[in-house]
Structure 1
């Protein structure tokens, strides 16, 4: 694999952290954060914005007759941090769903997000040297972003080039046997591209624009004009048993499915089959039916109240197993990192290389203390109106912040290592959230029982809300640390200055935290969430499902009310253990097939309209791969080079599909909020649902064919 190991020398005259770069990064941040918030609430997924941010930055700065590889790197660093922070919506909407909040107060939401993001950045700084500079971890997304920046940025005319100490190792790791043994879910983004004939910034921006316009128009027809349905479902009753065959019509999910790959797609399909092909039919057969209720309603209720907890158990045990397997190398990395900090802190600043200079320890310590202080104030404000004694409030605040700090630091180290090993997109953030909400709920449960907090329904509701609020703080730390080391790896490979990049990460977190609350309020007001509609007469079928927030709220509520479906969680844990053992057997035999356990759990607990659409996207990626392989053989050309070019375009096209649909959702939410009408642009709201479903299906299949053809034909033209 070609490594493109050029970067500016240590004595670097190129501008890095510029005012225009920060402003451009802020604009891209608003777009991708809003997109991620909408996508996460609608389908329970977010996407990595590093590569599309880098391409957009290069295209814009080149059009301005400026920009260089380091400035573009700072823009994508800032934007990717903010986009990643939006994963906090996996928990925070639960506070509205349970009725504790009637909206999202700006300063409280901003503080929990911003402080968590800042602490996530700071917690990863001690890990940089051991896990980035001296590590053989592959960092698939970080290396891919570096490749794009190297090829797409203007040549470093007049500059000597320097080779990173481990550039060859890092660039080769993506293509070696060890990386190839990882399942597809552990090679996110289909991004390890090495060909020198890859897409240039202008062409890359065109792919993003094409995908964005395509998915935006289709989403507008579905959600704006409502001339097409957004899914199709066929219920198949067999006596007292019912099966469900369904798919959604989301091009954003097609893009996401393409990015995760066929192995994880098939794992999700296995989860859907276990959920709707086995568990739900079995329960509809064994559970007594309520008179007058349709089988479809009974099945949906059984999935929501029981089966999805099987998925939660599977994801939770997979996350714990991942942490256990990484414990030894993670601890070793921490020791090396802290030893490095002790050594550099005694050196004079001038003696340190530019590309090996982190934020000074006093800044790290000062900002960490500031982040903790913000959390103490925020948690105190959160509990300020609670009818509790001061000592009870103080103990709850101290325990909640202490848990978030300790567990957050451990999770930051684990997620940082996992991101280096398998990529940011494959790290089990949902599993981390499930483990965190269970642990913190049990902690608060103990305090509440001792203090009498749980003697009233109001006290129980407050305890549930505090558990969710604390978990959101942990998720903020986890998601940022999951992304930051990828960005720092990119920076190391292209010759960025670490402390400047860390400043860009901090700026991205603050800007992202400021964007998230108003977008959340906008979407909640316009669509509502499952079980939480802000206005009378709203269409519950159009509510955002927020699957992770729904699940974590149900778990916390079940723990405090002693009605948690522990048996279903136990079945999920047992299933997870079995699948982990099966995956270990497959790995030991050296076969190509692997079984991503977390993906199976996701397939169980995500709504089936989402899971099946993801599978379709993964299958389309597999079809592209098979077609290119056949063409390469027929034309006697190198398949790796042909596939590299197609995959690069496909990654950008998929990103466009995700962004286009998400932005339409946000814009429509603004229109709904402004007009006060549920469907102000609808022109076919009274039409036949069946006709809308079949036309939607035909349009969806046609556009999927367009996407596949564009990936393949664009590669043929460029090849």
Structure 2
């Protein structure tokens, strides 16, 4: 989603004052404060919960696969507008509650997936590292609750007083969608079509169902190079959503790893008389660690670049606590949850973290104090940064790395270096990561509510509901993918990095040489004025994943070359919604497969609904001569569909 601009607001319906640096107390929302339409209803809450689980599961799958998540607020808003437009007596504010509750799933999923899978990776050496669903749920729950609680006192300062100064791009764009209700049916159609095509494509391709074609055709060249791509719908969709610049940087990192570093390492090994290694072996032993170093340095560089903003945000945010505490309001649009209750609840959560046994929540007293400090700092930072540069540029991974480095160093200084200490350190990082992620989402949602005239206290309650239900769902979802993470089928790049950081600090065996090489690669990219973190993620991931992402990015690039202004925004939005549907459809099929496999251990007939990995070999054998081309042809059909959705003749009408 692009940052909205004032001219576009005139097309979509928000008043121009939504973008002007006026006193927030003088802004007139879409629904005036003296009106009290239906808002916090059971149908809105239930729909938000369902959407939160769906988009949370989709983002969990996507983040495990390529380390990326996509915003859920706008798809949730589109679905809400589509649904409530057909319900008698429904209001705009009900749709806003739907997107508030529903968008929490994406942020909870991001915080969980970026950290928790490190437990699965440790399980290979220590089965006691298995977190279990209860621990995952508790970590996600306390992190999400703290993120919302710490953000509530900042709302009046960041959202109201800084109106027009902090853009909150996703929150403002979501408000635009909500007020343009006449376009809801057409937009929802794009989302539903993408979901249907993504699910059908994945069903036909998945090797545990029909398996009609190979998902990752490719070949080794001269024993040193590997070329190929994974022809998956979710990668095409995410490429369109993130755009050509980020997609190009990811592909650039992959090209460096596959066509420069891997051949160079193979050549050097041959010169030294060492045994030859396959491209995959070189990537696993060398290039992945270089990529991990680049990801770490990229996250830290992003954090360092944000330091002036971080310091200012923290100073102004703490000052804003006084403003929030002093504001005794009666207007509906200014009512937050009581500050006294917020502070008591936050203290209670910290006490619970300190007192609960490791079998339920492995944090402990020292970890709880670390969470209190880091979560408060980074929630303040995250809430303001997303207002300045948007949620996609929020350096949550950098904040988490900083938390892990400091916490691990403190544990080592105290003489705690065993497995249990590692689990405590990771738990601290997970809670802080989830808190920072959900705080960014909460601030965007509250900005949307401010613009449309929602009741803040009801939105804040909705955030708690979204956090709790999404945490429960994500705990089960991520556990379904446990074996895929351990086997490497799903790479979980951030979680692998978190494990590397903790192991390296606490065991003193950090592979500094390879990590530093990756770090300097990230520095070079940063000096060239480009996003080093996107490049670093591409260097870490196999080129098979970055290539289809680039294809999606190129389609968006062509769209942006052909159209300008309002027509561009309409076509781009159609492509984004169709791409979001592709991601959700593919992820839901992957989730369904793992659910059936898991349930099949309890009841055999369910397990027999999915085959083994040779399910489609008979059909593939019939087209064996085309196996290098056949997947590309089918993928080409999907590419053409995305192109038509974004650039087709009917794209002129929304």
For the criterion TM > 0.5, the same-fold answer is yes
Is residue 404–residue 426 contact of structure 2 (8 Å, CA) maintained in 1? yes
The answer to whether the aligner puts 1:56 opposite 2:79 as a matched pair is: yes
Residue pair 2:353, 2:365 contacting (<8 A) in 1 also = no
Q: 1:228 to 1:297 in 2, by over 3 A?
A: same
2:617 corresponding residue in structure 1: 685
Q: Secondary structure, in 3 states, of the residue corresponding to 2:180?
A: helix
Residue aligning to 2:353: 375
Change (3 A) 1:488 1:243: same
Distance 1:442 1:694, change over 3 A: farther
**Alignment of 1:144 onto 2:187:** no
Matches for 1:9-408 after TM superposition, within 5 Å: 9-87=32-110, 88-99=112-123, 100-101=127-128, 104-135=131-162, 136-152=165-181, 200-223=183-206, 224-237=209-222, 242-287=224-269, 294-303=277-286, 306-344=289-327, 347=328, 351-378=329-356, 380-381=358-359, 397-408=364-375
Q: Deviations over 1:111-156 (max 9, x none)?
A: 1111110100111122222221122122111111000101117xxx
Match of 2:510 among 556, 564, 586: 564
Question: Whole-Å Cα distance in 2 between the matches of residues 522 and 32 of structure 1?
Answer: 16
Aligned to 2:603: none
The count of aligned residue pairs is 612
Q: CA RMSD in A?
A: 2.5
Find the partner of 1:663 among 577, 585, 588. Answer: 588
Q: 1:670 to 1:710 in 2, by over 3 A?
A: same
* Structure 1 residue 378 displacement after superposition: 4.2
Residues 714, 401 of structure 1: CA spacing in aligned structure 2 closer, same or farther, 3 A cutoff?
Answer: farther
- SS of 1:234's partner is strand
Cα gap change, 1:228 to 1:438, in 2 (>3 Å): farther
CA–CA distance in structure 1, aligned partners of residues 190 and 460 of structure 2? 30
**1:293 Cα shift?**
5.6
Which sections of structure 2, spanning at least 5 residues, go unmatched?
1-6, 16-28, 601-605
User: Does the C-alpha gap of structure 1 residues 353 and 718 become closer, same or farther in structure 2, counting only changes over 3 Å?
Assistant: same
Does the CA-based 8 Å contact 2:567-2:652 persist in structure 1?
A: no
Aligned equivalents of 2:319 and 2:627: distance in 1?
60
Q: Which moved more, 1:491-500 or 1:314-323?
A: 314-323
Q: Give the whole-Å Cα distance in 1 for the aligned partners of 2:291 and 2:319.
A: 41
Structure 1: 5+ residue stretches without partners: 154-199, 385-395, 533-539, 584-594, 630-638
Report deviation, 1:382.
5.5
1:444 alignment partner in structure 2: 411
| Cα distance in 2, alignment partners of residues 623 and 59 from structure 1 | 29
* Residue 653 of structure 1, aligned match among 578, 588, 596: 578
Q: 1:208 to 1:70 in 2, by over 3 A?
A: same
Q: Which of residues 454, 470, 473 in structure 1 aligns to 2:428? A: 470
CA deviation after TM superposition for structure 1 residue 512, in Å:
0.7
CA pair 597-98 structure 1, distance change in 2 beyond 3 A: same
TM-score norm. by structure 2 comes to: 0.88
Cα distance in structure 1, aligned partners of 2:491 and 2:611: 18
Alpha-carbon separation, structure 1, partners of 2:379 and 2:166: 16
Q: 1:301 and 1:681 mapped to 2: Cα distance? A: 23
Query: In the alignment, which residue of structure 2 is the partner of 1:496?
Result: 454
Report whether the alignment pairs 1:426 with 2:393: yes
What's the counterpart of residue 163 of structure 1? none
Cα deviations across residues 489-511 of structure 1 (Å, max 9, x unaligned)? Answer: 11111011111111111111011
1:611 and 1:440, CA in 2 relative to 1: closer, same or farther beyond 3 A? Answer: farther
Other structure's SS at 1:63 match: coil
Q: Residues 115 and 374 of structure 1 are in contact (CA less than 8 Å); yes or no, is this contact kept in structure 2?
A: no
User: Is the 1:576–1:597 Cα contact (8 Å) retained in structure 2?
Assistant: yes
